[in-house]
Amino acid sequence: MEKLVQKIGLKHGSGGRAMRQLIEEVFLELASPVDGIGLSALDDGAALRIGDQWLVVTTDSHVVHPIFFPGGDIGRISVSGTVNDLAMMGATEPMGLTCAVILEDGFPRADLERIRDSMKATALEAGAPFVTGDTKVVGRGDADGIFINTTGVALTRRVVTDAGLRAGDLLIITGTIGDHGMAIMSKRHDLGLQGDLRSDVAPINGLIRAALAAGGDDVVAMKDPTRGGVAGSLHEMAAKGKVGVLIDEQAVPVRDEVRAAGDMLGIDPLLVANEGKAVIGVRAASAGKVLAALRAHPLGRDAAIFARALGERPGAVILDTGLGKRLLAEPEGELLPRIC
Amino acid sequence: MAKDLTQELKFRDPAKARALAEAMQRNLDAIGREVSVMHVCGSHEQAIARFGLRAVLPRQLQLIMGPGCPVCVTDGPEVDEAVALAGMGVHVCTYGDMLRLPGTSRSLADAQADGGKVHVVYSVDQAVELARAHPAEEVVFFASGFETTAVATAAAALAQPPKNFSILSVHKYVPAAMDLVAQSKQTKIEGFIAAGHAAIITGWAIFEPFAQKTNTPVVVAGFEPLDVLASIVKLTDLIRERKAEVFNAYPRCVTREGSQPAQRVLWKVFEARSGKWRGIAEVPEGNLDLRPEFAHLDARKRFRIDTGAVRDEAASGLEAECICGTIMMGLASPHDCTLFGKACVPESPVGACMVSSEGTCRIWHTYGGAPDLRGVGLPASSEG
């Protein structure tokens, strides 16, 4: 019924249904069987078996616009995004990062150095050393200022996927949602709310380490709700785990400023990107322990149990608004291109 | 901001919502059969869908959205007029929702892509400003909406706009559409929820002749979730008691007489005339047209609008499958449409109801449709 798209649109990069469809239609062709978790799993990264450990590999290109925004910049995102993708697979101690930069002719050196300083500081925060890199320059108009790709590698003894949910599991969000996307949106649309809205961009491998230490094998699924927001993450986790997910909307932590901006723009914070948060699925018996460990960490003070996995309605994400219930639609895309 | 939030939360109290749902259930049990009620406003549907209110309604109660989206009922040939004007090099200003609304073959967005001077405005005043800034060029305001926005258009018409400004009115009048639905033999609507913001202007008494004539109760409702639930409780009270009365459930904003100055402005400039509503029918007194005294501001009189070049009555394959009209009459839901969410999505809408943020299809698509979620997550069924 739906015909294949012949031209790529911005929505194909927005983390929603359109992007997933494009990847499935075009790139899955590249997948081949591996000993571990490979491309076909469409997870945050790959996990390859090495002896009794797993080598986790992830890569991410960063094209955020504007490159400097309240709470961060493209440099901080480029490190956090990759460190966090490793952490979502259970690998919280990065062995090395790569840095490949594409620059547009005429890009100011001062901005480049500012971005370098930000990358250095963020890498230090995450305990992630840069080990190699690449630099390319393209003509004016062939790129927009600067694009950064980073790849990360790390070893772990236990891999956590985004497919491990079972009925009865509880879901924790590690803090307030929507901060990054709303900060970018506010800056781009000049909403005049900038003073209140700051991106949450941060490496959260330390926070995840604390959660894994507290929950052990009972931490069964993780996902960082970047593009597509918490809604996008939950849709993937529900589909892959073949469970329904019921969100208690009133338990979802949202800053007043983010809520107000969302009301103004008609955008649900559940659909908005985060760059320093995780959705963590935990067996119910350990949820209290994991929550306490998260809240004891500076980046997890607002953590909350906000949803649970159901045995019914597999693949569906249902929102209990406190006044009623409805399905939470999977984000389509195009909400905000070039968010990270 | 903090104060607004507190105000808002007052109308979003889950405990009150539960109490209202229980009252509704008692009413339906007392009535003892299935009952259908209709609201006629996109903002009501947004509140109902956003907060998932259908999941707390009694199973015997059907809550249907009727023709409550002015953009959706704007007819194809009316859009053709605006597209033709844009093709003539005239500036065409309109609200954002109107941009992608299909005409018989083309939309204003298409006209814009072809170099037409089409502008999205947030109010009629911006169109007037544009006309002032370009005195040598013609500026037309393609005016859509119900009574609420029609008052704003009328006020602009009375404020001596510049000579190069004119109005292409596709304003619609809600009470006329309620009449149509109530008198349709196919629909079995036993009560109406009327839109609170329109009633701020018209007053609630305007619905009294309608209630008597059609023997159907009407409740005027606000837009917070508790407003909507409370209005349904009241409506089911009236149905149970067989009282075809009008009740004002939005007294913090709506009065019996409404805003007299606004009504004077509205009827000074506009008159209600019969017109075709997209997908529905000819609606007697359904369109608000400029009065003859305002012919100098009427784009239909000022320009020889020839829609021949942009008109194509032969609907494409997909459009022939679209059931927007049936949905707006309350005879079908978006889930009955084979195109909904598949060939017809917000980025490439087939029907008008997927174009506007006030349209039933668009709202259902945004908020996950209306599956029955009443039992989901309850202790008996959850841990499977």
Percent of chain A whose pLDDT exceeds 70: 96
- From B10's Cα to the closest Cα of chain A, the distance in A is 12
Helix, strand or coil, per DSSP, at residue B334: helix
- Contact residues on chain B for A312, CB-CB shorter than 8 A: 376, 381-382, 384
Indicate whether B115 and B132 sit together in one domain.
yes
Tokens encoding B273: 């005339």
Is the pLDDT at A2 greater than 60, yes or no?
A: no
pLDDT tens digits, A250-260: 999 999 999 98
pLDDT tens digits, B322-340: 899 899 888 999 999 999 9
Tokens encoding B94: 């309109």
Q: What is the pTM of this model?
A: 0.87
Position B330 in a domain: yes
| B2, B5, B56 member nearest A324 (Cβ) | B56
Indicate whether B13 and B156 sit together in one domain.
no
At which of B248, B275, B291 does a domain end? B248
Q: pLDDT confidence of B379, banded at 50, 70, 90?
A: low
User: What's residue A15's pLDDT?
Assistant: 72
Position B371 in a domain: no
Tell me the C-alpha to C-alpha distance, in Å, between residue B359 and each of A332, B64, B135, B184, B340. 18, 13, 36, 21, 12
Indicate whether B202 and B340 sit together in one domain.
no
User: Per the omega criterion (within 30 degrees of 0), is the bond before A66 cis?
Assistant: yes
Q: For chain A, which residues lie within 8 Å of any Cβ of chain B, measuring from their own Cβ?
A: 1-2, 11, 167-168, 244, 246, 250, 256-257, 259-260, 266, 308, 310-313, 318-329, 332, 334
Is the pLDDT at B127 greater than 80, yes or no?
A: yes
> Between A150 and B113, whose confidence is greater?
A150
Indicate whether B135 and B199 sit together in one domain.
no
Is the pLDDT at A194 greater than 90, yes or no?
A: no
Percent of chain A whose pLDDT exceeds 90: 82
Position B359 in a domain: yes
Tell me the C-alpha to C-alpha distance, in Å, between residue B124 and each of A60, A237, B67, B121, B143. 46, 47, 24, 7, 8
E-only strand ranges, chain A: 36-37, 46-50, 53-62, 68-69, 72-73, 94-104, 130-138, 146-156, 170-173, 219-223, 244-248, 279-282, 304-310, 317-320, 325-327
Residue pair B77/B104 in contact (Cβ under 8 Å)? The answer is: yes
Cβ within 8 Å, pair A323-B371: no
Indicate whether B243 and B225 sit together in one domain.
yes
Is the pLDDT at A339 greater than 90, yes or no?
A: no
The total domain count for chain B is 3
Q: pLDDT confidence of A263, banded at 50, 70, 90?
A: confident
Strands A130-138 and A94-104 turn out to be parallel
- Contact residues on chain B for A1, CB-CB shorter than 8 A: 342-343
Least CA distance to A242: which residue of chain B?
A: B384
- From B49's Cα to the closest Cα of chain A, the distance in A is 7
pLDDT tens digits, A40-84: 988 889 999 999 999 999 999 999 999 999 999 999 999 999 999
Instruction: Indicate which CATH number applies to the domain containing B64.
Output: 3.40.50.11750
Cβ within 8 Å, pair A308-B382: yes
Indicate whether B273 and B140 sit together in one domain.
yes
**What is the full DSSP assignment across A312-327?**
SSTT-EEEE-SS-EEE
* CB contact set of B160 (below 8 Å; sequence gap of 6+): none
Position B372 in a domain: no
* CB contact set of B6 (below 8 Å; sequence gap of 6+): none
Tokens encoding B234: 């009241």
User: What's residue A334's pLDDT?
Assistant: 52
pLDDT tens digits, A294-318: 999 999 999 999 999 999 999 999 9
Q: pLDDT confidence of B21, banded at 50, 70, 90?
A: very high
Residue pair A283/A169 in contact (Cβ under 8 Å)? The answer is: yes
Is the pLDDT at B19 greater than 50, yes or no?
A: yes
pLDDT (average), residues A147-158: 97
pLDDT tens digits, B281-290: 899 999 999 9
Indicate whether B62 and B79 sit together in one domain.
no
pLDDT (average), residues A238-255: 97
Q: pLDDT confidence of A192, banded at 50, 70, 90?
A: low
Distance CA B220, CA A138 (A): 62
User: What's residue A333's pLDDT?
Assistant: 62
B345 DSSP 8-state letter = B
| A256, A266, A318 member nearest B1 (Cβ) | A256
A302 DSSP 8-state letter = T
pLDDT tens digits, B49-69: 999 999 999 999 999 999 889
User: What's residue A16's pLDDT?
Assistant: 74
Least CA distance to B379: which residue of chain A?
A: A310
Cβ within 8 Å, pair B52-A319: yes
End-to-end CA distance of chain B, in Å? 43
Position B220 in a domain: yes
- From B365's Cα to the closest Cα of chain A, the distance in A is 8
pLDDT tens digits, B231-248: 999 999 999 999 999 999
A2 DSSP 8-state letter = P
Instruction: Indicate which CATH number applies to the domain containing B121.
Output: 3.40.50.11740
Indicate whether B80 and B169 sit together in one domain.
yes
Within a 13 Å sphere around the CA of B382, how many CA atoms are in the beta-carbon half? 15
- Contact residues on chain B for A167, CB-CB shorter than 8 A: 382-384
Residue pair B130/B155 in contact (Cβ under 8 Å)? The answer is: no
Indicate whether B64 and B150 sit together in one domain.
no
Position B161 in a domain: yes
- Which domains are assigned to chain A? 10-156 (3.30.1330.10), 170-327 (3.90.650.10)
| Interface residue of B50, B223, B339 to substitute, partner A, most A CBs within 10 Å | B50
Position B120 in a domain: yes
Indicate whether B126 and B275 sit together in one domain.
yes
Cβ within 8 Å, pair B12-A322: yes
User: What's residue A6's pLDDT?
Assistant: 79
A5 DSSP 8-state letter = P
- From A322's Cα to the closest Cα of chain B, the distance in A is 5
| B1, B52, B381 member nearest A321 (Cβ) | B52
User: What's residue A3's pLDDT?
Assistant: 60
At which of B202, B217, B248 does a domain end? B248
Is the pLDDT at B10 greater than 90, yes or no?
A: no
Cβ within 8 Å, pair B51-A329: no
Cβ within 8 Å, pair A324-B346: no
A313 φ, ψ (degrees, to nearest 5)? 50, 55
Nearest to B283 by CA among B153, B141, B170: B170
User: What's residue B382's pLDDT?
Assistant: 41
| Interface residue of A323, A327, A335 to substitute, partner B, most B CBs within 10 Å | A323
ipTM strictly over 0.90?
Answer: no
Structural domain for B150, as ranges: 71-174+259-310
User: What's residue B142's pLDDT?
Assistant: 98
> Between A279 and A9, whose confidence is greater?
A279
Residue pair A195/A135 in contact (Cβ under 8 Å)? The answer is: no
Residue pair B40/B195 in contact (Cβ under 8 Å)? The answer is: yes
| Interface residue of B347, B373, B378, B381 to substitute, partner A, most A CBs within 10 Å | B373
Is the pLDDT at B319 greater than 90, yes or no?
A: no
Q: List b or e across A167-204, with b for residues whose CB sees 16 or more CB atoms inside 10 angstroms.
A: bbbbbbbbbbbbbbbbbbbbbeeebebeebbbbbbbbb
Indicate whether B218 and B356 sit together in one domain.
no
Nearest to B290 by CA among B302, B279, B281: B302
Distance CA B335, CA B347 (A): 18
| A246, A257, A322 member nearest B14 (Cβ) | A322
Distance CA A337, CA A271 (A): 13
Cβ within 8 Å, pair A326-B226: no
| Interface residue of A317, A325, A328 to substitute, partner B, most B CBs within 10 Å | A325
- Contact residues on chain B for A256, CB-CB shorter than 8 A: 1-2, 5
Distance CA B172, CA B151 (A): 12
- From A183's Cα to the closest Cα of chain B, the distance in A is 18
Within a 13 Å sphere around the CA of B21, how many CA atoms are in the beta-carbon half? 19
- Contact residues on chain A for B365, CB-CB shorter than 8 A: 329
Least CA distance to A260: which residue of chain B?
A: B1
Q: pLDDT confidence of A335, banded at 50, 70, 90?
A: low
At which of B248, B270, B290 does a domain end? B248
Distance CA A18, CA B70 (A): 30
Is the pLDDT at B34 greater than 60, yes or no?
A: yes
Distance CA B15, CA A329 (A): 26
> Between B14 and B142, whose confidence is greater?
B142
User: What's residue B3's pLDDT?
Assistant: 47
- From A8's Cα to the closest Cα of chain B, the distance in A is 14
Q: pLDDT confidence of B321, banded at 50, 70, 90?
A: confident
Is the pLDDT at B309 greater than 90, yes or no?
A: no
Distance CA A103, CA A137 (A): 5
Distance CA B142, CA B377 (A): 48
Distance CA B224, CA B278 (A): 29
Q: For chain B, which residues lie within 8 Å of any Cβ of chain A, measuring from their own Cβ?
A: 1-2, 4-5, 12, 14, 17, 49-56, 225-226, 229, 342-343, 345-347, 357, 365-371, 373-374, 376-377, 381-384
| A244, A326, A332 member nearest B367 (Cβ) | A326
Cβ within 8 Å, pair A256-B2: yes
Cβ within 8 Å, pair A246-B367: no
Indicate whether B163 and B38 sit together in one domain.
no
